[in-house]
Amino acid sequence: MANIVTLSPWQQQSSAQGTVYLNCFNGYDQPALKHALENCAAKAVSLLDTAIDDDSLYLLFEWNPLAAELQVVVTDATKQRDSAHTIQAQFPDLRAQLHPVESGNSASIDALNETVKFLLSDFLASYSPFFSYSLVAIFHSSSRAETQLL
């Protein structure tokens, strides 16, 4: 079992477009991934008071399986107008494990996508601070046009 360790506290980068909160997580097994994804979702929920505006509808989890990166944003009904706060997380150990897979075994990547989706859904279903908001949690691992409910 890999021990999950955040490489650093959440780093904050501000620009005219908004603020990005960055973190990098070690570990590649399911307990490590679960802990990291829960950390990301909790960070995103902690920012909702300042991220939501009148047009906000979705809390969008964007998983890039080949890069092993997660981005979380609040967005509108068209999924084109994002809030000024973005969560970005990288999983370098998981990325290293996926490197041999990406060249031909899409079943492993599909299974990972389903695992990430399940872990996020499971966490949000019981995370009471999220219940204070009337946002719909959605997920994709390919494009915003192909989102799924969490």
29-35 contacts, C-beta under 8 A, 24 or more apart: 29/1, 29/2, 30/115, 30/119, 31/1, 31/2, 31/4, 32/1, 32/2, 32/3, 32/4, 32/93, 33/91, 33/94, 33/115, 33/116, 33/119, 34/119, 34/123, 35/4
pLDDT, mean of residues 24-40? 93
Of 6-15, 25-34, 100-109, 120-129, give the lowest mean pLDDT range.
Answer: 100-109
Strand 18-24 relative to strand 56-64, pairing? unpaired
Looking at residue 6, its pLDDT comes to: 46
| Average pLDDT over all residues of the chain | 90
pLDDT, mean of residues 10-21? 92
pTM: 0.90
Q: State yes or no: pLDDT of 2 exceeds 60.
A: no
Looking at residue 103, its pLDDT comes to: 58
Residue 140: φ, ψ to 5°: -150, 155
